[in-house]
Amino acid sequence: MRLTVFWRNMYEQFGEAYARSLARDYVIEGLGSRTVEGALADGAAPKEVWRAVCEAFDLPAAVR
């Protein structure tokens, strides 16, 4: 998954403003207790981060 696809998915699921806020502020245990931005900055693959977001927010299987 490309980073652009990751952000498109985030915007579609959460809206642009909330997606950015969530990425900056919400700590996800499945990302090693990091934020989305922190995990991406540390080199985590966007697909791995997306899966963790899906799990943390119990998103439907159709968007996973």
The yes-or-no verdict on residue 37 having pLDDT over 90 is yes
pLDDT of the residue at 64: 84
Q: What are the structural domain ranges in the chain?
A: 3-63
The Cβ of residue 32 has, within 10 Å, a number of other Cβ atoms equal to 12
Query: Which sign, positive or negative, has the C-alpha torsion 11, 15, 20, 22?
Result: negative
Confidence category of residue 8, pLDDT binned at 50, 70, 90: very high
